[in-house]
Structure 1
């Protein structure tokens, strides 16, 4: 297991990360500890937590989990239900944290939080894992489920935080056994960049400050590790992808005919004079101008919201994709994808669903369920249907062609969601495999 660092990284770069794991592994407490020890909590927040009727600590000790468990139901039950986002910064870096639920029924919320993350902290509670007589360790099913989702979503860095070390007297042997077991499971998944760290979120050991009680651990603290992780967005080097969100026109009283195509650059870069292709129509286009609120620009890059003006008069509307002429997206009427089923209602292969891909929405039907993934064994087997939290590989047919990329190449144009036509609820999140 190795730690990825980026010595040339911008010191004020932004890292998005999530916490994941099973119920009551200490995710909310860990985030509270990070914010508390890094001075990321305001005095009024601290006072409100100290006086909370839902506080689960004794005396004047602050219940740090209340900082992210904002819903009344979360505080009453002592669990996380929704995804809570928090911002904090150190002198070296800015952070956005997503605290995700541990309960199996809220796995869909974890998928939502993980979809934009650069790193994931998988918490393992030392008091819950089963230590076998043969020296092995049985990890909890949610630890395996969340690790599998992190792998499917291609989260770059995985930190295995072995939490509550204070409950086992900071025993190095137990830590080593857990790390070994997780390493074996991660190898079966294909996870590569994994960094383990022993800590106690409740007492603050190894979170921001080094702990003398963990003197046998020679690595960085959690905050030092988070500050050192490299964040490189491969979409900067990818071919240009621009899903059209809106066609902008003058109000009809202008003498000049203005037609601009508004949206967010999801991959690559664009410059005035670049040759593009409109998908799915296949029409050729040339960039005439690039507009933002600040005015006209010669070029723009991934992440920027812009209005593109073209030399040609073309039939382009919301849902179309402007791509690099040399490397357009693949147009698909049939597609293969990995999906996480997020609905309480099981998949009905006889029904049609809406598929939302970028700014395009069309009708879709699940043709076949190729295989269902067993989280415990990582083996795949056949299935007739999908239920809540199932992860499977499926084949879809779509009514109108999608201009898409493999998720492994470009996340934005390789991801989609399925929507129930009747309830309009999101029922699945998918990743296209070409």
Structure 2
């Protein structure tokens, strides 16, 4: 018991010392200037994609993360710390990072009830000038956020701050327009860094676990200490050279101005209607030998990122099972276009139709999913078909995604097998 008390006092002393000396020098708006963020901690890709002013603005990426806590016996606190999204009690720190994953500031932690959504947290921080945020930012600065910050737009506009956020699907529409999908992809190309930071701080085991409620007064300190250590000793992301950033940004901004010609062709000619004659083929069939053969690097250039390439392998792993083969179609009337149907990874009853036009290379694509009309990159459904037809079917290895279903008991499987055994013959007697 004496040893435990000594350890507790040592931890408290270390925490207080770090918060007094180390953290203020490595975290918070007062420890770094806007000029340092702009010159040292802003990727050229982000500046090229988002900035349209003569003087370079400060670009900050914001998102709330979560630290899980125990269920409380205080019912008021229990209700207010319970997240309806995660379905468990937690506290929410708000992360503010640069486009190179440098952590500028941490706000909170806040409660997790609906009154403490991302917009409410940001609005409260600006009104109360938390950590001097209102003093630090200037007009024409850019906040890159997700859709949870939509109610902060008017406040940011009053301050002259531009908010970049993925688009919403308008009421009555089933998918984003090409322009909306393209602009959303430009935002997500920059915004992903805050998700990486959230994952990075969870690699510290203590913050990745469910913390005891006795530690709630110290959670904010622990998060700030970890973020300060990351800023001081962890390197920034390595996402290519200056020239690579400029090349990718130029490509994306150029593509964002284009329309989806294949989408227009599909809709005008009714390629998605049942009356259209498509012939189903085996994905390994020699029927489509003229489909271009690409390397994974070539496909990555089409997807403009690695995420869609990763999801392509997961989609392929599902559709290459015995009961989930690819549905790929060709038409004699429409050369150099393949069609396919891909199972949604979220909804069992939903499949998406897609079309890919090709020649000696991939020319255009269109999918009926929410983001399927964009030309800045592509959705995971399209990347799956391209990855398989252009690359994977020529490889001897599997896609590397293992199905663990056979390793786990399945009640549905036993029910299905028993029903098959109890079949009924033409006399009405069980066989």
Q: TM-score range by the shorter chain?
A: under 0.3
Structure scoring higher RCO (CA < 8 A, sep ≥ 6) equals 2
TM normalised by structure 2 equals 0.27
Q: Quick check: which one's strand share is greater?
A: 1
Asked which structure has the greater CA Rg, the reply is 2
Q: What TM-score comes out, normalization by structure 1 length?
A: 0.27
